[in-house]
Structure 1
């Protein structure tokens, strides 16, 4: 006869242990568990991918197909390279590319240097940097149409502010937007003022991440302001500068708003006709969507090739 135990939790309270359960090791089971665990994250991911597919990838695929098609009376026919030949033989084709490259070069000279210099100057202030950041970013917050109307007033040959200043200084007045030699420069100046705020804040953030000991060491070596900028500031912000240059080239090659609103798009003697404005003309003025898609495809291939080459060269320099 078994004697009952007097120690609580031993014989009379002992319960048979459950057999150990073996976790499923099948790939399907693991995927189901991970899916349930990260259901919210997968939901946001699927939503983002769906938005990109509908609003970005689908139009790109449609444009690629449209570049080799022709639509007449609602009937779509494949025409091969006919649209590309039509665009290539257009007299405005090469002029648009020349103007676009000119705008890109001028925008890099002004729009790349001016924000960097502004960031360096703001970084030297010990007080009031918040107000200066707000001041430099204010043009970005304005609607583009309002900014363009402001510059149209400045450039007006009759009562514009610039000609009034020239008149006070007894200098000859200029036909700013009506002169083929000045119109593109005027567009670049307006575009630089409208878009420099974001680049300036990015450069300023990069500058504030540079250790102060480097500048102190440069001062001990007798370096002046320009030598400190060249030997300390530029090397320390090289990655940001290279990335901003790539983004600016891509953005300036697609310029449309400024010349369209300031000079009507083409400008005097076609001096401000850009590639994107020519795409607009093909699509909405000439009703030739195939040629517009073909020209847009050429621009896409050029920018993609430039970006790939730039990234490859950047990786080579880093190694």
Structure 2
């Protein structure tokens, strides 16, 4: 059992903490979905919690980061990591700005491949873990850099995943950053609770929520929006990805994923959050990610690049950047 779940009040528990315990001293103890049905739930939810000394270390490390943006999606496969990478590239186009991209998708880290950093490894310095640089002003950190091969499976339970996220936040030597973009896994589980809890005193600017147009995605994204509201995480806005296919020859648009209930824009109105825009399907985006290239600079005149830039400008305006 992970030491993350072991605490001084373990002797008071009815049973030892289960493997998926979020940590009996965490703020989520007795309150998270993993706690439902646990014999210790009432004890954990009412026992006074000690102050985690690592939270101060995270706050100190994050004090050199001006803006922190989370990229979320309740649904997998909607292009969230692609959006995170392009947002990071766009922010770094200003050579005077320093940008970091943190991948906390522990079980499915795709950022190293998307950013062209496959095979890179983390190095230690006197300041902590050194991130891997794509270019002089764009640094990346991912669990993918800790794996021997990209095919290696990460089979970890909650406490171990939470421990690595905490280590990324307190031990990575980012230096002075203007922006830190955090790419998250799908859902509203351990990783999301952890990143919000660990950064609660570090002034998160907010979350960009990515979805595709069809209802099967929007249902899960509604849950993500409710999650943000419940944990008081500001929502910057919603982006609809895979929003139609524009033929490169005739420029006619075809709807591949039909927005039967009005798509992300209608959902955003119903849930009182800002709608940032739509990004059409472009096979060249997938090719650029597979090849580890910056799509925005490789295809600057494409319709998708145009829409990306419109959305990025709205994000900057909302954050007064």
TM-score by length of 2: 0.20
Higher helix residue share: 1
Higher strand residue share: 2
Bigger RCO (CA 8 Å, 6+ sep): 1
